[in-house]
Structure formats: structure tokens, C-alpha cells
Amino acid sequence: MFETIDARDIVYTVVGLALFGLTLQPALARYRIFNLPLIYVLFGIGLAATGFAGVDPTQGGWRSMVVEHAAELIVIISLAGAGLAIDTRGSWSNWKPTWMLLLVAMPLTIASVAAFGYGLLGLSIPGALLLAAALAPTDPVLARSVQVSPPGQDERPMEVALTAEAGLNDGLAFPFVYLAIYAASLGVGSMFSGEAWIWDWLTFDFAYRVGAGIIVGYVVGLGISKVVFSPIGDGQQGAWNAILVILSATLLSYGITEAVDGYGFLAVFVATRAGRSNTRGTEHEGYEKFVHHGAEQLEAILLAVLLLWLGVFIGAGALSGLTWAEVAFALALIFVIRPLGGLLSLITLNCGEMSRRSVAFFGIRGMGSVFYIAYAQNHADFADIDAVWRIAAVTILLSIIIHGYAANFFLGKDSDIGDLHPHKASEGQDSAQG
């Protein structure tokens, strides 16, 4: 009986059920106990318990490549959506909390995680650097619950800070992924001696690739936006192809930037911001609502699949060998390291204490971390890659639980969380409308 059932049939059925479950989210989201990412992860764990074999990236080869590119795709789609969602005009004053998070909290988090990884968890220096680079950024995918609403809706300064941080922090995280790759492949001892590779890292992987991501992303995004609103573009044809527009803009900006060795993640976010700047204050403003909805739909589909994969990965033994020190580290990152770094970065801002604490706390970890680890694994040999995956997996799982429920119970749209803006709230709203 049922001899024709195979793994393919199970995959189709489970994914179909997962996608249908997404349609229930708007109705169920009103209940604070509802945590969609956790439900999908638990469902994946249940699948693993039945013997369902998932894709285990720790085995390397095609498996880590599949995980890398799947996570890569959802991250770039999420970054495009984040760039479109923010109404507040990007500037030093309007986005000052974001700049401070990037310049202060991010480096402090990287340094702290690397130090704990090496000193407390016993990772090698390359492994500790990789763990730090992977876990430092706020995830643009799973952090959606604390980010801004779709374009044209009210947005709070706290949400702007977290959304812009999630959109831009990859430009600072990726250089440290390469630092870990160099340390693993070329050796820590050759950083400053002989053919010292640290200078190539500073000039090329840090300066050039960040700059290329910003420049190419802006040019591509602005160019695509002008075509979209030309007489032959979708903006003049009823916005029937909004999903195709966001997908093509995302892939073009990412692909072209990566082709010139720039950071594609950074380029995608910059490209969508350039597109919005082209329509701001014109008759075309409002088209971004259709495009953003398309990005959300694509992201939701990919997220359902990847959360199921994460659950299967965890349930199939990703946490085997987990130690109390590793759990303590994950909790410390969520409750101490990131919040403390965030508070220090925002200490000079005149803002409500609850807003300051909220922004500092909600540094959610997720699919970006999965991509960075898989990417590094596919470009260098890390002796302790299993430990890096294990620590990252437990951190992401705890982040889904802790940050997910914290957002449900403390960051409802009707909550009063104060103001996190370098100017008064009214001025911030004016700038958002400008």
C-alpha cells in the first residue's frame, strides 16, 4: 500500500501545505502566541523525526551549494523589499541611528563574537571570524516583523533604523566573511608577513567592493526606474508586471555588481532606494506599492521553504554535540552582546529610552547567517565548520523564539515605544513625507 510515495511526493505536499499556510497569516497574526517562523521550523523538525532526509550543508559539495544559493536568493529579494519599503528619505540626519549602528554596534559585535568564539568556544581563528561575520548582521528576512510597513503607511523611527540597518549591514559583514576565508586558506600568520594579504583585503575586499556595490547599485536602479516609467515601461502600462519588475531589478543589480566583484547585497538595497528617489514627488510615486507587494510574495514563498529546511536540518542532527557553553554564547549574543553594542552606538542620540532599547535588542539573526557560512564553506576549508553551523543554528533558533515573541508582545503597532530620531517626531514625519 502507498508503494508509489517517494521523497518527491512528500516535498511537493509539504511545500504546498506550507505555502497555503502563508495565506492564513494575516488572520492569525492578531494572536500574540502566533509565531510563523517557529511553526515552520517545528514542522521541519517533525519531518526529520519521521526520517525525511534534508539537505545537510555540513557535508559540503552540492549540498552546501544548494543552501548557499537558496539563502542568497531570499536575502536579495528581502533586501529589495526593504529598500522599497522605507518612506523616510535617506540622509545622515534622517538615518543617523542606522549609521551609528553600522559604525559602532556592528564592529563591536564582530569583535565580541570573534573573541568569544576563539576564547570560550574553542574555535580556530578562521572559524571564530566566520562565526562573527555571519552572526553580526541584522537579518533582512526574519527581521521583517520589526521593520517598516509597506510603502505609504505610517512608519516609526525605530522601524526605519532597523530596516535600513538590515539593508546596509551586509556591506560591512561581507568583508569579514572574506577575512575568514583568507585566514582559512592563506593562514593567519601571513597576514602581515611576506606577501601580506591583509592589504589586499583592506583595499579590494573592503574599500573597492563596498564602493562598487554602492555605485553600480545606484546606476542600475536609477536606469531601471527610468525605463519602467518610460512610455514602454510597466509604470505606464497599469503595473501588471510588478513582480517581474522587482525580480528583474533585483537580479540585474545583483548580477552586474557581482560580475565586477562588488557586493551584490549592498547593490540591491541601493538600487531600490535609487528607484524610489527617482519617483519621489512625481506622478509616478505609488508604483512602488505594487512592486513591494511582489517582493513580499516572492520572499514569503522562499522563506517557507527555507524555514522548513532549517527545521529538518536541526531535527536531523545539526545540534548534535551542542554544549552548554555554546547555548550560553547564543543567549549572550541575543541578550548582552548585540543589545550592549546597540546601546553604546545610540548613546548620543536624543531619543526615548524604550526606543533605544528596542533597536539595540532586535538584532535578529536568520537567513543571512546561513548564506555567509555556506558561502565561506564553499570557498575555503574550515576545520571546525560543523561547530560553526551548530552554533549558528542554535542562535538562529533562539532568535526566532525570543525575538519573535518579544516583537509580538512588546512591539505591536499600537504600542507606545517612544521616538528614535535625531529630530523631533513631527520633523521626522515631515521628512518622511518630503
SS (H, E, C) 104-129: HHHHHHHHHHHHHHHHCCCCCHHHHH
Helix axis angle, 353-361 to 157-168, nearest 10°: 30
Instruction: Give the single-character DSSP code of 146.
Output: G
Size of the chain, expressed as the number of residues it contains: 434
Residue 78 exposure: Cα atoms within 13 Å on the Cβ side:
30
Q: Sign of the C-alpha dihedral, residues 162, 43, 295, 211? A: positive
Average confidence (pLDDT) over 175-186: 95
DSSP at 314: I
Q: How far apart are CA 170 and CA 237, in angstroms?
A: 35
For residues 368 and 171, give the distance between their C-alpha atoms in angstroms, rounded to a whole number.
12
pTM for this predicted structure = 0.90
Q: What is the pLDDT of residue 23?
A: 87
What would the pLDDT profile of 215-273 be if each residue is shown by its tens digit? Answer: 999 999 999 999 988 888 887 787 778 888 899 999 999 999 999 999 999 999 999 99
Q: How confident is the model at residue 412 (pLDDT cuts 50, 70, 90)?
A: low
Residue 424 has pLDDT above 50, yes or no: no
- The highest-confidence range among 64-73, 275-284, 407-416, by mean pLDDT, is 64-73
In this prediction, residue 172 carries a pLDDT of 83
Q: For residues 52-59, give the mean pLDDT.
A: 89
pLDDT at 140 over 50: yes
Confidence (pLDDT) at 429: 37
Please measure the distance between the N-terminal and C-terminal CA atoms of the chain and give it in whole angstroms.
66
What pLDDT is stored for residue 55 in this prediction?
92
- CA pair distance 244, 223, nearest whole angstrom: 16
Q: Which residue has the higher pLDDT, 392 or 193?
A: 392
433 vs 420: CA distance, rounded Å: 17
Is the pLDDT confidence value at 199 over 70? yes
Q: Has residue 433 got a pLDDT over 70?
A: no
Worst-scoring range by mean pLDDT, 109-113, 179-183, 339-343, 346-350?
346-350
- Highest-pLDDT range among 5-19, 227-241, 307-321: 307-321
Residue 118 has a pLDDT of 96
Task: Delineate the domains of the chain, giving CATH numbers in brackets.
Answer: 36-43+54-433 (1.20.1530.20)
Mean pLDDT of 387-406: 95
Query: 4-8, 81-85, 279-283, 412-416: which has the minimum mean pLDDT?
Result: 412-416
6/84: higher pLDDT? 84
411, pLDDT greater than 80: no
Checking if the pLDDT of 7 tops 80, the result is no
Most confident among 11-15, 232-236, 295-299, 377-381 (mean pLDDT): 377-381
Residue 420 pLDDT grade (very low, low, confident, very high; cuts 50, 70, 90) = very low
pLDDT > 90 fraction of the chain, expressed in percent and rounded: 57
Residue 418: what pLDDT? 37
What mean pLDDT comes out for the span 172-186? 94
Give the pLDDT band (50/70/90) at residue 415.
Answer: very low
pLDDT at 194 over 90: no
What is the rounded average pLDDT for all residues in the chain?
87
Percent above pLDDT 70 for the chain: 92
Instruction: Report the distance separating Cα 105 and Cα 350, nearest Å.
Output: 17
